[in-house]
Amino acid sequence: MRMKSYDLLREKIQKIADINGTMAVLAWDKETYLPAKANGLRSRQLATLSSISHEEYVSEETGELLAKSSRQRGLDIKAKKNIKVLTEDYLKSKKLPTSFIVERSMAESEAYHQWVLAKKDNRFELFAPALDKLIVLKRKEAEMLNEGKGLYNTLLDQFEPGSTTSLLDKLFTDVRKKLLPIIHEISEAKQVKSGFLQKKYNKDKQYDFGIYLLNAIGYDFDHGRQDISPHPFTIGFSPADVRITTRIDENDFSNMTWSTLHEAGHALYEQGLNPEEYGLPCGGAASLAIHESQSRLWENHVGRSLDFWQAHYPSLQKTFKPLKKVSIINFYKAINKVEPSFIRTESDELHYHIHVLIRYEIEKALIEDGLDAEGARTLWNEKYQKYLGLKIKNDAQGILQDVHWSHGSFGYFPTYSMGSFYAAQFFEQANTELPKLKEQIAKGNTFDLLKWLRENIHQHGRLYEAQQLCKKVTGKGLSLDPFVSYAKEKYSDIYGISFQI
């Protein structure tokens, strides 16, 4: 029987997904087990596969299949959505020459390699030339793809379709107006004690406890694994193979624990995508902000809740000596301590968004205003002093702390805050629809929550855009208000204050 156009299109796109999956495996290896001097040829391998994937995607055959599929009758809603999104992506990709794809891939591989060296030696000058090259390439990419949206909006759209600086400027204005006063009131209160979290915690025991937590919240080790990397990340080759990494500091218990729970949230989303839609838009995440909503929900709304630790604190106390005489209430307060910090990934839930705001403002300057790497370093240090009152002592705790720019991911950072605010809305709705959720979590049962997320968010893939999905799940679009309500309730209890705002 002759295959119909959509079936042929589906087959072709999934073959391209196979190539992209192979690249992803090589990228995962690069950040976990790649020998120190193997970067050169690995960069070439990734560049070669990138060019093959790109050429296959922008071929005339793909264009013809998309055109014919769009005219095919009897297709279901997911097939129609796949065709729509693929056509949009195809037309954008056609604007990027294969030579540029190769050049960008090589530049990203070199930049990551230099970032690792620079962070290890605390020498930004090792990374700066590679970063400058990437900035030029990303501006060039934005210029080629720009359809009157502006350069930074064009890059932002790659991660969060439909989002704009106008929307983000308003969102971060609300952050300043609504979150900064809460932070200020907490700073006036008596600080909670957390020194016991910085005692000696054996590395191997930490890793094993991370595995325990992953099993507890439903991460499927038959379809994934956890390893160690300089910067924690999640990478999915398909719903059948979703891997995460964490990092461990023997003198900081928090580092591993919430990195693991954060990446697990990403991984649970990837494992919950529809395998029948593999490689197609409806088999992928709705957006980066929706992806981030899943990680922040599990990391904070679940993983930093008193309910969660009522179930797991006894096991934690048995594992680590420094916690044997620490009450669960004092532990709960300590893991939610609010104070300015240098490192975004180690920040509390409130200051976290100031870290994101700083990166957002710098990214816009890099892409729109001609700022270079050295200028970004200076601006970074100035903004940490201005917004957080912190004087950056070295580049490892400053501009070198995040891996994202070494990957060429400009326009990514704002999705972290958006994701946190989506998470608050989703968790609020989950509690409404699952009235016994808090009791279940306190008993160690998070599977009803995972089932709710799978049914309401994961299974849809990109069938709905982020705002559409939020309205479908919660009845309204993205709003900061549920997060503000959550923060006031939580931190008034921890710090014993009644917010006057």
- Has residue 372 got a pLDDT over 70? yes
Q: Which of 160, 263, 349, 363 is catalytic?
A: 263
Residue in the structure block whose two tokens are 């931190």: 491
- Has residue 448 got a pLDDT over 60? yes
Query: Against a cut of 0.75, is the pTM above it?
Result: yes
- Has residue 155 got a pLDDT over 60? yes
Q: How confident is residue 488, by pLDDT bands cut at 50, 70 and 90?
A: very high
pLDDT of residue 499: 82
Q: How confident is residue 501, by pLDDT bands cut at 50, 70 and 90?
A: low
- Has residue 8 got a pLDDT over 60? yes
Q: Is 424 exposed, middle or buried (0-12, 13-18, 19+ CB in 10 A)?
A: buried
The Cα 28–Cα 8 span in angstroms is: 30
The Cα 336–Cα 33 span in angstroms is: 33
pLDDT of residue 39: 87
Q: How confident is residue 378, by pLDDT bands cut at 50, 70 and 90?
A: very high
pLDDT of residue 297: 98
DSSP H or E run through 431: helix 414-433
pLDDT digits (tens, 9 = 90+) for 75-118: 999 999 999 999 999 999 999 999 999 999 999 999 999 999 99
Region 44-49: mean pLDDT is 94
pLDDT digits (tens, 9 = 90+) for 217-266: 999 999 999 999 988 999 999 999 999 999 999 999 999 999 999 999 99
Region 315-333: mean pLDDT is 97
- Has residue 356 got a pLDDT over 70? yes
Q: How confident is residue 36, by pLDDT bands cut at 50, 70 and 90?
A: confident
Report the range of poorest mean pLDDT among 252-256, 354-358, 427-431: 252-256
Determine the Cα angle at 76 with ends 75 and 80, to 5°.
75
Q: Annotated catalytic, 263?
A: yes
**What is the residue-averaged pLDDT of the chain?**
96
pLDDT of residue 346: 87
List the chain domain ranges: 5-158, 165-495
The Cα 426–Cα 186 span in angstroms is: 26
- Has residue 1 got a pLDDT over 70? no
- For residue 200, report the phi and psi dihedrals to the nearest 5 degrees: -80, 120
Q: How many CB atoms lie within 10 A of CB 177?
A: 12
Query: Do residues 383 and 360 make contact, with C-beta atoms less than 8 angstroms apart?
Result: no
Region 384-407: mean pLDDT is 95
Please report the DSSP string for 118-179 in residue order: HHHHT-GGGTHHHHHHHHHHHHHHHHHH-SSS-HHHHHHHHHSTT--HHHHHHHHHHIIIII
Task: Report the first-to-last Cα separation within the chain, whole angstroms.
Answer: 68
What kind of fold does domain 165-495 have according to CATH? Answer: Neurolysin; domain 3 (1.10.1370)
